[in-house]
């Protein structure tokens, strides 16, 4: 299985809940094994500044999916 690091961010609604749900959805996929999740970090938006700050984290996974398959799966 390959190791991948997935960045997740949210700046709308309940940001922490949105991130938790994204991790839950990943862990429900039998071809993705969530190994660990970083702490949440708050960051200012880049580019378009007139929007709320982001909460971000990184998820370490193991997967049997090829890179393009993984991307397609994550975009759902």
How big is the chain by its Cα radius of gyration, in Å? 13
Q: How confident is the model at residue 25 (pLDDT cuts 50, 70, 90)?
A: very high
Using the CB atoms, write b or e for 18-56: b if 16+ within 10 Å.
ebbebbeebeebeebebeebeebeeeeeeeeeeeeebbb
Tell me the C-alpha distance between 7 and 5, whole Å. Answer: 7
Q: Is the CATH number of domain 2-75 3.40.50.970?
A: no
Q: How confident is the model at residue 76 (pLDDT cuts 50, 70, 90)?
A: confident
Tell me the domain boundaries of the chain: 2-75
Q: How confident is the model at residue 31 (pLDDT cuts 50, 70, 90)?
A: very high
Q: To the nearest whole percent, how much of the chain has pLDDT over 90? A: 95
Q: How confident is the model at residue 3 (pLDDT cuts 50, 70, 90)?
A: very high
46 pLDDT exceeds 90? Answer: yes
């Amino acid at each position: 299985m390959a190791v991948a690091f997935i960045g997740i961010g949210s700046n709308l609604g309940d940001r922490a809940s949105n991130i938790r749900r994204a991790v839950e959805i990943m862990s429900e996929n039998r071809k993705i094994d969530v190994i660990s999740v970083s702490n949440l970090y708050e960051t200012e938006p880049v580019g378009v500044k007139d929007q709320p700050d982001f909460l971000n984290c990184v998820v370490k996974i193991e997967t049997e999916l090829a890179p393009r398959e993984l991307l397609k799966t994550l975009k759902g």
